A and B are shown apart, each in its own frame.
Chain A
Amino acid sequence: MTREAMEFDVVIVGGGPAGLAAAIRLKQLAREKGKEISVCLIEKGSEIGAHILSGAVIDPRALNELLPNWKELGAPLNTPVTEDRFLLLTEKGGWRVPNVLLPDCFQNHGNYVISLGNFCKWLGQHAETLGVEIYAGFAGAEVLYRENGAVKGVATSDMGVGRDGKPTDAYQPGIELHAKYTLFAEGCRGHLGQQLESRYELRNTADPQVYGIGLKELWEVAPEKHQPGLVVHTAGWPLESDTYGGSFLYHFDKNLVAIGFVVGLNYRNPYLAPFEEFQRYKTHPQIRKFLDGGRRIGYGARAIAAGGLQALPKPVFPGGCLIGDDAGFLNAARIKGSHAAIKSGMLAAEAVAQALAQGRSGDELVAYPSEFRASWLYDELHRARNFKPWMSRGLWFGSLMFGIDQQIFRGRAPWTLHLSADHTKLKKASECESISYPKPDGVLTFDRLSSVFLSNTNHEENQPCHLKLRDPDVAIKVNLALYDAPETRYCPAGVYEILRDANGENPRLQINAQNCVHCKTCDIKDPTQNIVWVAPQGGEGPVYIGM
């Protein structure tokens, strides 16, 4: 069957803050100029917000620019931050860092605790009222190119293809969406973004991107323990000081607490399991005091782009651009990316609207990177640029050096440090000590499967596995033999398992792709980059609620 094709001025892949902000800005500019711009946005989640996972504390700066009247429009920013605490944890205790010692980037006054999923849902509704055509449940599966090599658009995935790759009775071919400009807003480690980076060599002058994995739970806590607007961040225990990571705990809405843990994916010990570290962290007296008597109602995980300015690829190529974390605009020092995503989407939209007004199509949107350089976002990322490189040198030394960087030089230190790729950092299992994690109690701490259950994730079983191995033998010959199968530990959803026969021999890698929560960690951390994450059928994956 041949695919149908449809034409738009702009196609946006991904309905997160970047993609939606770009869509809204385009429609605003079209109205201002009295010129119609057709905008089609596709989203792989079953609805807008279904795949969104973030802390989240949002800095409203970019939203103020996009929709100055967001309060009247009913934006779900209901809980202003009332108190900031930063704790350095030890196994039994810890210290609170006095707020005067914290660099500005750790201060959250004027920010809001939100569910980014609910916020995106709201943004999506607003975008639709402006005339953006939003199609949730359709994944961008393939980049389409013009004869001159420029991006022509994307194709959505085929539906109803069997596990063997052959069409089933329910087969429906994907649709080609052609556009004058295509904006890629897939979020961190977008699988089309990866292809574009290599095809157009967008990373030639950038450092490799570096990442973290963020795990999050949503808790309904006892009313007397709830302090709306309280924001607690921690560093230290249970991670070793040479592993970058930390936690967040945000009180918002009605008795809800968002609690999460981030581990830098440059960790070295293949025995480390971010999921287990997160569970262990919750048992700290300073943390469990909030959760005792409550119940866990949500779970999810997502990789985070943390490389900042040095790791930003060239965001434009003929016919389109990368926006939000598909490029990596997140500010790791502030542990915030939504405002940056919104701003980058707006900057790209402005460049697109200008190009369309000039009758251009399919060329490079040079105004987008140049306007970015002139924006507050560039300034913000520039000041924070040495955070991740310093922190990758250990918690204590890193904090000291980043403190000097921020408090003495105000982010304008005469040095810029560089990054190297996360997957190269893993040591051989034989050089590391295995870590024994405590057993979950089912009340405060949990196992992976009961957690994945709460992500509401689901995939049609009869479809090609969306986690591809470039070379299936590597899973055993390299991953298991040298690194003791780290994918079984870093995957937050229990997708990867080593199974053996009745005699405990002939190990093989079992991929439970139905469990996948689309976090992309395997695509990032696999030591030989043998695992490739591609989009499964549209509408599948987690269905996060209020995450």
Chain B
Amino acid sequence: MKILVAVKRVVDFNIKVRVKADGSGMETANLKMAMNPFDEIALEEALRLKEAGSATEVVAVSMGPNACQEMLRTALAMGADRAILIETAMELQPLAVAKLLSAIVKKEGPQLVLLGKQAIDDDCNQTGQMAAALLGWPQGTFASKVKLVQGGVEVTREIDGGLETVALKLPAVITTDLRLNEPRYVTLPNIMKAKKKPLEIVTPEALGVDCTPRLKTLKVQEPPKRKGGVRTADVKELVAKLRNEAKVI
């Protein structure tokens, strides 16, 4: 079984980002970039399935500028067998990513597509669902457990009320949540070996996908600063403040 894992290049999770002074977007110049942590979890799960003998090949896919190669090299160093970069300088929104992903799925024919439930930069949480819809495949989102069974896969999902387990037929799309696993450390010899693994570059045009953005960002602004709390002398004062100042009761 072949597994395809989508990995996105995002600002490293340690970095505190800031809004550009003119409010046109986020400041990204010179920031450290990394693989989206949820995608890292997806990749780790794929590698564990392969190591357990359930999968034969793990292919990592990324989309965006040429610099996405770095994330794919990391994926290869973690253990992916080969990588594909869909290179474009265009801003990619979730629908375009889902279209590109389904195009590459049709070309590669994996049984399972794994990706993070969302990316930590735009927090859209849409790509996996849209890709499943475009492919007409079943989807198991927010996975905290993935178990391959005869002819299908059981996915335990993290939902508001607790956990929900769904049974999907293969091929399927699974998006991964935080508690699914803890990704491995990349070792130095594996980074060296990853330099020699195959990395193919294709374009959206070659896949016949129109990536033109459909959403327009009007303005980006920081959330208002939280004001410090105050200590009230008694309940009466608290109620008065809630009623007259906060106007919540």
| A interface residues with partner B (beta carbon < 8 Å) | 4, 6, 46-47, 50, 115, 118, 121, 133, 135, 137-138, 156, 159-160, 169-170, 172, 175, 220, 255, 297, 453-454, 456-458, 543, 545-546
Q: A456-B15, A456-B16 are in contact. List 17 more A-B contacts (CB 8 A).
A: A6-B188, A6-B192, A46-B14, A46-B32, A50-B32, A118-B30, A121-B30, A135-B188, A156-B188, A220-B21, A255-B21, A457-B14, A543-B14, A543-B32, A545-B31, A545-B32, A546-B30
- The answer to the question of B210 belonging to the interface, with a C-beta cut-off of 8 Å to chain A, is no
Residue among B18, B34, B185 with the highest chain A CB neighbour number at 10 A: B185
B12 and A46 contacting across the interface, CB-CB below 8 Å: yes
Q: A46-B32, A50-B32, A118-B30 are in contact. Are A543 and B188 (CB under 8 A)?
A: no
The CA of A456 and the CA of B30, in the complex, are separated in Å by 14
- The answer to the question of B162 belonging to the interface, with a C-beta cut-off of 8 Å to chain A, is no
Which residue from chain B places its CB closest to the CB of A546 in the assembled complex? B30
A-B contact list, 16 entries, CB within 8 Å: A6-B188, A46-B14, A47-B32, A115-B30, A118-B30, A121-B30, A156-B188, A169-B182, A170-B182, A172-B184, A172-B187, A175-B187, A220-B21, A457-B14, A543-B14, A545-B31
Chain A hits for B189, CB < 8 A? 4, 6, 175
| Shortest Cβ distance from residue A464 to the other chain B in the assembled complex, whole angstroms | 16
- The answer to the question of B191 belonging to the interface, with a C-beta cut-off of 8 Å to chain A, is yes
A170 and B30 contacting across the interface, CB-CB below 8 Å: no
Chain B hits for A220, CB < 8 A? 21
Chain B hits for A297, CB < 8 A? 18
Which residue from chain B places its CB closest to the CB of A42 in the assembled complex? B188
The CA of A112 and the CA of B188, in the complex, are separated in Å by 36
Per-residue contact bits, chain B 167-207, to A (CB 8 Å; 1 contact, 0 not): 00000000000000010111111011000000000000000
The CA of A114 and the CA of B185, in the complex, are separated in Å by 34
Per-residue contact bits, chain B 1-38, to A (CB 8 Å; 1 contact, 0 not): 00000000000101110100100000000111010000
Which residue from chain A places its CB closest to the CB of B195 in the assembled complex? A133
Chain A hits for B187, CB < 8 A? 172, 175
Chain A hits for B14, CB < 8 A? 46, 456-458, 543
Closest 6 CB pairs of A and B: A159-B185, A458-B14, A175-B188, A172-B185, A456-B14, A543-B14
| B interface residues with partner A (beta carbon < 8 Å) | 12, 14-16, 18, 21, 30-32, 34, 182, 184-189, 191-192
Which residue from chain B places its CB closest to the CB of A121 in the assembled complex? B30
The CA of A47 and the CA of B34, in the complex, are separated in Å by 10
Chain A hits for B184, CB < 8 A? 170, 172
Residue among B186, B188, B189 with the highest chain A CB neighbour number at 10 A: B188
B32 and A135 contacting across the interface, CB-CB below 8 Å: no
Q: A46-B32, A220-B21 are in contact. Are A545 and B15 (CB under 8 A)?
A: yes
The CA of A220 and the CA of B16, in the complex, are separated in Å by 15
Which residue from chain A places its CB closest to the CB of B186 in the assembled complex? A137
Chain B hits for A50, CB < 8 A? 32
Q: A160-B185, A170-B185 are in contact. Are A543 and B15 (CB under 8 A)?
A: yes
The CA of A458 and the CA of B31, in the complex, are separated in Å by 16
Residue among B14, B182, B184, B186 with the highest chain A CB neighbour number at 10 A: B14
- From A138, A453, A457, contact of B188 by CB (8 A): A138
Chain A hits for B185, CB < 8 A? 159-160, 170, 172
The CA of A2 and the CA of B188, in the complex, are separated in Å by 15
| Shortest Cβ distance from residue B9 to the other chain A in the assembled complex, whole angstroms | 13
The CA of A159 and the CA of B14, in the complex, are separated in Å by 18
Chain A hits for B30, CB < 8 A? 115, 118, 121, 545-546
Chain B hits for A135, CB < 8 A? 188, 191
The CA of A395 and the CA of B238, in the complex, are separated in Å by 55
Chain B hits for A160, CB < 8 A? 185
| Shortest Cβ distance from residue A220 to the other chain B in the assembled complex, whole angstroms | 6
The CA of A224 and the CA of B6, in the complex, are separated in Å by 45
Chain B hits for A545, CB < 8 A? 15, 30-32
The CA of A282 and the CA of B227, in the complex, are separated in Å by 24
The CA of A456 and the CA of B18, in the complex, are separated in Å by 12
| Shortest Cβ distance from residue A134 to the other chain B in the assembled complex, whole angstroms | 10
Which residue from chain A places its CB closest to the CB of B15 in the assembled complex? A456
| Shortest Cβ distance from residue B118 to the other chain A in the assembled complex, whole angstroms | 21
The CA of A156 and the CA of B186, in the complex, are separated in Å by 13
Chain A hits for B192, CB < 8 A? 6, 133
